[in-house]
């Protein structure tokens, strides 16, 4: 071992120390810690499947031996695939969550709102019709403040996001955070769980809650027509953004008059406001579009704040989902044996968090991965050493 070992032990390798080895009755030629470390370093450096991870290990073997034991050299791609197919994803998620909590103490960006956006994404080619295996659908929690993944849970084959979201909430600390979820997560049990965990919620309301959506829609339509003496107090906030040749005007209308809501105080605990978002989009050469959406929130009033929170929720699309597809080619991944698809997805999230927190190099995630494959010094920098 060299002097490199100690700081590595305090950072990236340490998260694998408590992982249970799934190879119970097999002769172990390779340490689990070595397998996991090579995998994350390879994914950081651009590897997207097991053969590329093996190739990375063989090309970097001399350097890897300065801080890994490697008693029988570099594992084969079959070994990587087999171990990750057997590895308990729940244990891997818990290790990931503990590492994230340690990482968050090093992050210094602070915003007025600690916001956690929760959304799901399907890896299209991770399924197999022949094997009767559906594609992996992962529900992730995204820190809007820091731009990192906080935790993730795969939906069961015969389930959906409604059952996965509470499991994600159990993995992370949401005390003092505003949790934003798209329409499928607009469930009274999820709202109650967020409150019980010390957070607040902003939930999109759509067709999956038809009565609730109709009630909120009718309320705002009545408010527009009502005479001055009977009109409820509605606070509004307008924003205009211009980027990439497109202009968007958003008007948030917020009312704290919610006592009329069916299930108020019983089914929908803690509800403090109903929200209407109107959005007009203009783009050169296209017809102007208009959209109206509704939300239920435990945040009472403050139209400007709620307008910002709702818009920030969609940062998970660009900051996480788009990045996984473009920089990590997640939609092209055919890793699917056993638990391998979910565990490889956690590897990508871990790699992306490390790349996002390194801000001295003004490159995109894809370019940073390429740079890491060339430059071991930069690799150590991304690892925080």
Residue 320 tokens read as: 């996480």
Provide the CB-side half-sphere exposure for 382 (13 A, CA).
27
288 with 311, same domain: the answer is: yes
191 with 68, same domain: the answer is: no
pLDDT at position 100 is 78
What is the rounded average pLDDT of the residues 122-151? 76
pLDDT at position 157 is 60
- CA-closest candidate to residue 163, choices 189, 182, 142: 189
Q: What is the mean pLDDT of the chain?
A: 85
CA dihedral in degrees (348, 350, 351, 353; nearest 10)?
A: 120
User: Is the residue at 332 inside a domain?
Assistant: no
Q: Over 70: is that where the pLDDT of 311 sits? A: yes
153 with 247, same domain: the answer is: yes
Helices 365-374 and 340-357, packing angle to 10 deg: 90
Q: Over 90: is that where the pLDDT of 72 sits? A: yes
What is the rounded average pLDDT of the residues 152-172? 84
State the pLDDT confidence band at 284, using cuts at 50, 70 and 90: confident
Higher pLDDT among residues 157 and 257, named by residue: 257
3-state secondary structure of 57: helix
Taking only the tens place, the pLDDT of each residue in 93-118 is 888 887 777 766 665 555 557 899 99
Higher pLDDT among residues 144 and 111, named by residue: 144
Q: Over 90: is that where the pLDDT of 87 sits? A: yes
H-helix segments, 277-322: 303-313, 315-316
What is the rounded average pLDDT of the residues 263-267? 80
Q: Over 50: is that where the pLDDT of 47 sits? A: yes
79 with 109: CB under 8 angstroms?
no
45 with 193, same domain: the answer is: no
State the pLDDT confidence band at 239, using cuts at 50, 70 and 90: very high
pLDDT at position 18 is 79
User: Is the residue at 328 inside a domain?
Assistant: no
179 with 294, same domain: the answer is: yes
Q: Over 90: is that where the pLDDT of 382 sits? A: no
126 with 49, same domain: the answer is: no
User: Is the residue at 22 inside a domain?
Assistant: yes
Domain boundary among 277, 294, 320: 320
Q: Which of 38-42, 136-140, 255-259, 283-287 has the lowest mean pLDDT?
A: 283-287
Q: Over 80: is that where the pLDDT of 129 sits? A: no
CA distances from 306 to 39, 142, 254, 318 (A): 41, 18, 8, 20
pLDDT at position 123 is 78
pLDDT at position 133 is 54
Which single residue is written with the structure tokens 């809650």? Answer: 209
Structural domain boundaries, residue 26 = 5-87+337-382
Q: Over 80: is that where the pLDDT of 291 sits? A: yes
DSSP letters, 65-104, are TTT---TTSSPPHHHHHHHHHHS-HHHHHHHHHHHHHHHH
What is the rounded average pLDDT of the residues 303-311? 94
Q: Over 60: is that where the pLDDT of 235 sits? A: yes
Task: Kindly list the strands in the beta sheet with 235-243, ordered across the sheet, starting from the edge strand earlier in the chain.
Answer: 148-154, 137-143, 115-122, 178-181, 200-205, 289-297, 273-283, 246-255, 235-243
DSSP letters, 315-362, are HHIIIIIIHHHHHS-GGG----STTHHHHHHHHHHHHHHHHHH--SS-
Hey, how many other C-beta atoms are within 10 angstroms of the C-beta on 248?
A: 16
pLDDT at position 384 is 62
260 with 140, same domain: the answer is: yes
User: Is the residue at 188 inside a domain?
Assistant: yes
pLDDT at position 3 is 43
Give CA–CA dist 185/97, Å, rounded.
22
367 with 253, same domain: the answer is: no
pLDDT at position 228 is 67
State the pLDDT confidence band at 385, using cuts at 50, 70 and 90: low
H-helix segments, the chain: 5-9, 32-44, 50-59, 61-64, 77-86, 89-104, 161-171, 188-196, 210-225, 303-313, 315-316, 323-327, 340-357, 365-374, 376-382
User: Is the residue at 55 inside a domain?
Assistant: yes
Taking only the tens place, the pLDDT of each residue in 164-222 is 999 999 988 899 999 999 988 899 999 999 999 999 999 999 888 889 999 999 999 99
Q: Over 70: is that where the pLDDT of 294 sits? A: yes
| Domain count for the chain | 2
Q: Over 80: is that where the pLDDT of 274 sits? A: yes
Helices 161-171 and 188-196, packing angle to 10 deg: 0
Which single residue is written with the structure tokens 């925080």? Answer: 384
Higher pLDDT among residues 305 and 112, named by residue: 305
Q: Over 70: is that where the pLDDT of 348 sits? A: yes
148 with 103: CB under 8 angstroms?
yes
pTM of the shown model: 0.86
Taking only the tens place, the pLDDT of each residue in 331-345 is 778 777 788 888 999
What is the rounded average pLDDT of the residues 222-237? 82
CATH label of the domain that carries residue 240: 3.90.350
208 with 186: CB under 8 angstroms?
yes
Higher pLDDT among residues 73 and 93, named by residue: 73
Higher pLDDT among residues 78 and 4, named by residue: 78
156 with 265, same domain: the answer is: yes
State the pLDDT confidence band at 127, using cuts at 50, 70 and 90: low
What is the rounded average pLDDT of the residues 119-145? 74
Higher pLDDT among residues 1 and 67, named by residue: 67
Provide the CB-side half-sphere exposure for 20 (13 A, CA).
10
């Amino acid at each position: 071992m060299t002097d490199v070992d100690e700081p590595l032990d305090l950072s990236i390798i340490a998260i694998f120390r408590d992982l249970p080895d799934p190879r119970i009755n097999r002769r172990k030629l390779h340490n689990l810690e070595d397998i996991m470390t090579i995998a994350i370093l390879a994914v950081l450096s651009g590897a997207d499947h097991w053969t590329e991870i093996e190739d990375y290990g063989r090309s970097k073997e001399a350097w890897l031996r300065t801080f890994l034991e490697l008693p029988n050299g570099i594992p084969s791609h079959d070994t990587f695939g087999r171990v990750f197919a057997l590895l308990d994803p729940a244990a891997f998620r818990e290790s990931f969550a503990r590492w994230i909590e340690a990482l968050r103490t090093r992050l210094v960006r602070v915003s007025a709102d600690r916001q956690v956006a929760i959304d799901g994404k399907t890896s299209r080619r991770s399924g197999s019709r022949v094997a009767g295996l559906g594609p992996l659908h992962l529900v992730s929690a995204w820190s809007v403040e820091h731009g990192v993944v906080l935790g993730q849970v795969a939906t069961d084959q015969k389930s959906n996001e409604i059952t996965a979201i509470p499991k994600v909430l159990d993995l992370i600390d949401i005390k003092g955070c505003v949790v934003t979820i798209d329409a499928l997560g607009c469930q009274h049990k999820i709202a109650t769980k967020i409150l019980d965990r010390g957070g607040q919620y902003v939930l999109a309301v759509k067709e999956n809650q038809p009565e609730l959506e109709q009630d909120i829609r009718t309320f705002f339509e009545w408010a527009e027509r009502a005479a001055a003496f009977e009109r409820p107090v509605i606070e509004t906030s307008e924003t205009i953004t211009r980027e990439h040749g497109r202009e968007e005007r958003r008007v948030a209308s917020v009312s704290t008059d919610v006592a009329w809501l069916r299930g108020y105080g019983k089914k929908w605990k803690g509800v403090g406001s109903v929200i209407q978002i109107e959005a007009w989009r203009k783009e050169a050469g296209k017809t102007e579009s208009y959209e109206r959406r509704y939300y239920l929130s435990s945040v009472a009033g403050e139209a400007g704040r709620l307008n910002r929170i709702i818009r920030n929720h969609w940062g998970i699309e660009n900051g996480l989902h788009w990045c996984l597809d473009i920089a990590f080619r997640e939609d092209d991944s055919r890793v699917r044996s056993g638990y391998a698809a979910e565990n490889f997805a956690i590897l990508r999230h871990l790699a992306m968090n490390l790349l996002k927190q390194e801000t001295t190099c003004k490159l995109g995630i894809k370019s940073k991965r390429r740079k890491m494959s060339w430059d071991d010094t930069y690799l150590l920098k991304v690892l925080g050493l």
